Amino acid sequence: MKPVRILKGALAALIVSTGLAAAAEYPEKPISMIVTWNAGGSTDVLARLLAEPLGAELGVPVAVTNMPGGGGSLGTRAALDAPLDGYTILATTSGNHILTPLKNDVGYRYDDFEPIGQLVAASLILAVREDSPWLTLEDFIAAARAEPGKYLFGAVPDVAPHLTLRALAESAGLELVHLPQQGGAPGATALLAGDVDLLPANAATVASSLKGGKMRGLAVFSAERDPAFPDIPTAKEQGYEVYGSPFVGLAVAKGVPEDVLATLKTAFDKVAQDPAFGERAIKVASALTYLPAEEFGAVWERDWTTYAPMLQK
């Protein structure tokens, strides 16, 4: 029994001494970056890419922590419940930040968080198969008006692509049938297999099919054309002012000390505007759409008010 007691004593002493050393300059221990989706998803990949240079900038490792589940609400909740010391940051997306809390009772709102900055605002593309008779948005709208309830579209329920197409259908007076999908890739498969007639999707999901000629883009739901797909006109150009653009960015829970927040913002700004990082990000995800903290906060508010009437019961 004796050696154990001595050992435990020694360990305890060690623990206390390291515990006392805390409360110095921020940051001085690893920071955990919560990703509310599974390892390997598009948000996760982007977060892992960001973690490395961000860690180098801050001088401590940034560890990606996957907390998937509940439409992203579990991880978001965990970021809120963590100590307010800035050692837990949240890689946040439209889904877990805006849409899930609007739709379900998850116990948080978008403004329970403080923005650090936006990393990506994906463009949404309305895609059809290459053999589809529709060449423009107008072709499709005319066909859908002629035969209400005939055409199927695939989308994950109540995420940005789905809601954006719903908005388009409402503004054009169309009746479309929703075939719910489990994710971006299954949706693209359903379009290629002919199970659905059209697919609103993140540009990254359909990029290779568009470039490979298997799909055709009818419209982009952004204010400007996507530089990666300059041939696809915006919906606005074709007479329908419908926008949608899911974001990925960083946030922390409200109540984190001012100086800590400032350190995080400075580090993030530096990394996100570094061209070397931008080049890397283009490779795995989509082009970076950096926004500083204040503007990112404004995006939250805009999206919250846009989607609230569509989702709240």
Partner 1 sequence: MEFLLQGVAEVASIQVFALLSLGLVVGIVIGSVPGLNVPLAVAIALPITFNVEPIAGLAMLVGIYKGGTYGGSLTAVLINVPGTPAAAATAIDGNELTRQGKAGKALKMSLYASVIAEIVSDIALIAFAIPMAAFALRIGPPESFSLGIFALTLVGVLSQGNMVKGLIAAALGLFLSTFGVDPLSGEFRLTFGQRQLAGGWSFIALVIGVFAIAEALSILDANLAQIRQKGALRLSDPDHCLDRDDWRRSLPVIGRSSVIGVFIGAVPGLGSAVSAYLNYGLSRSLSREPDRFGKGAIEGVAAAEAGNNAVTSSTFVPLLTLGIPGDVITAIMLGAFIAHGLVPGPALFEQQGPFVAGFFLMIVAASVLHLVIGRLGMYAFVQTTRVSNPVLFPAVLVLGVTGIFVSTSSYFDVYVMIGFGVMGYLMNRLGFPIAPLLIGFILGPLIEIGLRQAAIIGRGDMTIFLTRPISAVFLACALLTIVVVGWREYTDRRKRRIPRQEERKT
Partner 2 sequence: MPGARGLNRLDADGWAALVLLGLCAVFLSNLLRSEATGAYVTSATLPIAVVMVMAGLSALLLAGSVLRMRRAPPAGARRPGATRGLNWRVPALVAWLIAYVAALPWVGYLLASGGFLIGAGLLYGNRRWGVLLVSALVLPGLLLVFFEKVMIVLLPSASLWN
Number of residues this chain uses to bind partner 1 (CB under 8 A): 56
Please give the Cα distance from 44 to 67 (Å, whole number). 11
What phi, psi does 278 have (nearest 5°)?
Answer: -60, -40
Based on the shown chain and the rule CB under 8 A, indicate whether residue 30 belongs to the binding site for partner 1.
Answer: no
Q: Contact between 66 and partner 1 (CB under 8 A)? A: yes
The nearer residue to partner 2, 16 or 298, going by C-beta atoms, is 16
Residue 9 binding partner 1, by CB under 8 A:
no
Q: How far apart are CA 311 and CA 308, in angstroms?
A: 5
Which residues are near partner 2 by CB under 8 A? 3-4, 7-8, 11-12, 15-16, 18-19, 22, 29-30, 32, 51, 61-65, 180
Give the Å distances, CA to CA, from 114 to 109, 166, 248, 294. Answer: 11, 30, 14, 9
Q: Edge-to-edge strands of the sheet including 62-66?
A: 62-66, 31-35, 88-93, 247-253, 113-121, 291-292
Tell me which residues in 200-219 interact with partner 1 (CB under 8 A). Answer: 207-209, 211-214
Site stretch for partner 1 (CB under 8 A), options 11-19, 65-73, 114-122, 240-248: 65-73
CA atoms within 13 A on the CB side of 37: 19
The verdict on 114 binding partner 1 (CB under 8 A) reads: no
The three-class DSSP label of residue 115 is: strand
b or e along 76-85 (b: 16 or more beta carbons within 10 Å of the residue's beta carbon)? bbbbbebeeb
Q: How far is the CB of 25 from partner 2 (least distance, A)?
A: 16
**Could you give the CA distance from residue 114 to residue 247 in angstroms, rounded to a whole number?**
15
Please identify, using beta-carbon distances, which residue of 47 and 291 lies nearer to partner 1: 47
Residue window 67-106: x/- pattern of binding to partner 1, with contact defined by CB under 8 A: xxxxx-xx--xx------------------------xx-x
The yes or no reply on residue 166 touching partner 1 (CB under 8 A) is no
Spatial separation of the C-alpha atoms in residues 286 and 280, rounded to whole Å:
10
**Would you count residue 228 as binding partner 1 (CB under 8 A)?**
no
Residues 6+ apart with CB under 8 A from 69: 75
Give the binding site for partner 1 (CB under 8 A).
32, 34, 38-42, 44-45, 48-49, 52, 65-71, 73-74, 77-78, 103-104, 106-107, 152, 156-158, 177-180, 182, 185-186, 188-190, 192-195, 207-209, 211-214, 280, 283-285
